[in-house]
Amino acid sequence: MKFNHLLAFVVVSSLVFSCQTKKPEESQDPWAFEIKKIEQKTCAGKECVSVDISYPVFGDKKLQSLIERIIVQGMSFEGQPETLSLDSAVQGFMGEYIALKKEFPDAISWEYSMEVRVSYQSDSLLSLAFDSFSFTGGAHPNSFRSYLNFDKNTGQGITNSELILEERTLLSKAEVEFRKYHAVGEDMNLKDDGRFFLNERDEFFLPAAIGFELDSLVLYYNSYEIGPYVMGPTELKLPLSELAGIVAFTNK
């Protein structure tokens, strides 16, 4: 059956708020936050498109803008403007499926979810983890993690190059943990192991997703970054107590 009208779709939408601390507008602390949830679902028969997003809302406007921009980038389609609002991005995702379903009635369900959580906070640093899951057809769903590290003193996001003070030392420590994680012997060259995607020089490298959680620095290799999809992600944790002078913000 072909759907010719948007009225053929049943739309269920909800916007849910739950407080984790004082609401930003009720607190003088710019780092106080509440959790905002966006849940939307549109169905055509048994097939649906759904969006489920949970993220903290802070009083600091610059930080909040960065958070929402990252969420939008994660769910936007190629060619959409980078300045797209979060609401527009959600509606755009839903609309893409509706258009697809009208043209191809047998199209299967789509799904997108993202959870943004405060993974670490100190007097000077805030680290946020962005975990997303999506399925828009294809052989398998996709999951992805990124981090936003934010300097509370300067009010600026921190790049990995700014975060890492001694890259070679950190790389060496990370490779030791990587070999343990994947059971690679010290005498085995990673290239010769044959399981991993190395850099253009066939060398080990640091991941794009680097953040802080509890008392550790997290190095998170997403699927396809250093190995095939079947390998899944690789999450390495290095104690902050061992990283003074190697990574910024590790001195208590």
Q: What is the mean pLDDT of the chain?
A: 88
pLDDT at 252: 54
Residue 248 CB partners (closer than 8 Å, separation 6+): 158, 162, 163, 164, 165
Kindly report the CATH number that applies to the domain delimited by 6-137+146-155. 3.30.565.40
33-82, pLDDT tens digit by residue? Answer: 999 999 999 998 899 999 999 999 999 989 999 999 999 988 877 666 76
C-alpha–C-alpha distance, residues 185 and 161, integer Å: 30
Which residues are registered as beta bridge partners of 133? Answer: 113, 143
Span(s) in the chain for CATH 3.30.565.40: 6-137+146-155
Flag whether pLDDT at 28 surpasses 90: no
CB atoms within 10 A of CB 252: 8
Span(s) in the chain for CATH 3.90.640.20: 161-242
pLDDT at 29: 84
Assigned token pair, 31: 């780092």
Domain 161-242 falls in which CATH fold? Answer: Actin; Chain A, domain 4 (3.90.640)
**Could you tell me the pTM of the whole model?**
0.86
Judge whether 126 and 102 are in contact, CB under 8 Å.
no
184-198 b/e (C-beta count within 10 Å ≥ 16 → b):
beeeeebeeeeebee
